[in-house]
Amino acid sequence: MAAGGSAPRTRPLVNSHIHLPPNFSAFQNVAQAVNLAAEQDVRVLGISNYYDFEVYGSFAALARRRRIFPLFGLEIIALIEPLLREGAKLNDPGNPGKLYLCGKGITRFDRLSGEAQRLIWIIRHNDAQRMAEMSRRMAEKFAAHGVDTGLDEQAVIGRIVARHGCARETVFPQERHVAQAFQEVLFEKVPAAQRLDKLAEILGARPKSADPVPVQNDIRTHLMKAGKPAFVEETFVDFQQAYRLVLELGGIPCYPTLADGASPVCPFEEPVGKLIENIKRWNVHCAEFIPLRNKETVLARYVKAMRAAGLVVTAGTEHNTLDLLPIEPACANAPVPDEIKEIFWEGACVVAAHQFLSLHGECGFVDGRGQPNPAYKDSEERIVAFRKLGAAVIQRYYENN
């Protein structure tokens, strides 16, 4: 049972979800992310990478040096076939049946279980095949318009390694990596005065800007999305496999919520009571927001309803584009309200307590089947206890570092 202790005297600033290289990221390296967090006084920081956990060790070491409490997580993309057939949209507004699922407080990423290795291999293998074929089609498209890029999947990986100084075997390219590589080669080979015309030829549409990031976005939109010349169908694990992977890594399954980050709000998520019923039916007891997607009033309505329903709620920024945003989460139109920050702090404490107990061989917030810790009579008692323990764990960490 979670025990108490002293909490930090003032509530730390919290971000429970960023991506670090070699994931596509605003940060050049782990040190930059951790140093910026320290400079901005964000004292609890969570990593949520896809595919590989090699950088988690350096993240933990650097966070300790800067007195930042590290939270460990992951993000997975899954496909729910029955919802795909129904045309139902979840937390990806462009793709029916496609689901993003996070894991919070993972602790078994150093030595993976056999089942975790199997599931991660499936994810990596499927994605590597897709990126290789997409890169090939992109190279053909550019060559057809007189730009011989010399790019394939391995060349894209080489650019990521050179940019971030990471080990080659830890790199699993994403769409944004491929778009960035083709933008960079185009800029290397085509003089600035000719780029807009050449881009218009290749894209079949007039680009919005000749600046690197908008060009990368245009490449994705006009060449890589469904129905476009370089599109390759994605192959995903199913929900049960994604859920199992989170548990095999020792984590808490968590539903990333878009709310009004999609317009209109995806039917799966509206109204909020329906969303709560949907994710509880999956035995998911945690939700997360990227507040920058949301209006303040909508964020507050969703977060309060979820917390009242016995869900833990966390928040982050992702930082999975090249925009180097502030580390502390903020809404689209305003700061996060203080009462909502308190709920996000509580969520971070629950994750910290779960990590602590799991690392000590005890049952965390959920057990190995995803069931709530049975030592508590209800969700409210459980959240309150884990908040208290997590705050004490974080405070002790600060005192020892």
Angle, CA of 171, 178 and 218, to the nearest 5°: 150
Q: Are residues 208 and 69 in the same domain?
A: no
Q: Angle at the Cα of 294 (from 289 to 295), degrees rounded to 5?
A: 140
Tell me, yes or no, whether 394 and 269 share the same domain: yes
HSE-CB for 254 with a 13 A CA cutoff:
32
Q: Are the C-beta atoms of 7 and 388 separated by less than 8 Å? A: yes
Instruction: Give the per-residue pLDDT at 268.
Output: 94
Residues of the chain where predicted confidence (pLDDT) is lower than 70: 1-9
Q: What is the per-residue pLDDT for 1?
A: 47
Domain end position, chosen among 160, 190, 224:
224
Q: Is there a single domain that holds both residue 369 and residue 307? A: yes
In a domain, 277, yes or no: yes
Distance of alpha carbon 132 from alpha carbon 397, whole angstroms: 43
Do 39 and 177 have their domain in common?
no
Cα–Cα distance between 355 and 35 in angstroms, integer?
Answer: 23
pTM over 0.85: yes
Q: Does 99 lie in the same domain as 131?
A: no
Q: What is the pLDDT of residue 110?
A: 87
- CA dist 371 and 359 (Å) reads 18
Q: Which residue range(s) make up the domain with 90?
A: 13-112+249-400
Buried b (16+ CB within 10 A) or exposed e, 129-139: ebbbebbebbb
> Residue 266 falls within a domain, yes or no?
yes
The conformational region for residue 319 under phi > 0 = left, psi -120 to 50 = alpha, else beta, is left
**Does residue 215 share a domain with residue 67?**
no
Q: Is residue 373 part of a domain?
A: yes
Enter the DSSP assignment of 372. B
SS3 for 335?
Answer: coil
CA distance 62 to 30: 8
- pLDDT given at position 34: 98
Same domain, 76 and 209: no
What is the pLDDT, as a whole number, of residue 6?
A: 63
What is the rounded CA–CA span in Å between residue 247 and residue 259? 26
Which amino acid appears at position 276 of this protein?
I
Residues 292 and 396 in one domain: yes
DSSP 337: P
Q: Where are the alpha helices (DSSP H) in 227-337?
A: 239-248, 272-281, 296-308
Query: Residue 102: beta bridge partners?
Result: 75, 254
Number of domains in the chain: 2
C-alpha–C-alpha distance, residues 16 and 43, integer Å:
11
Distance in angstroms between the alpha carbons of the first and the last residue of the chain: 26
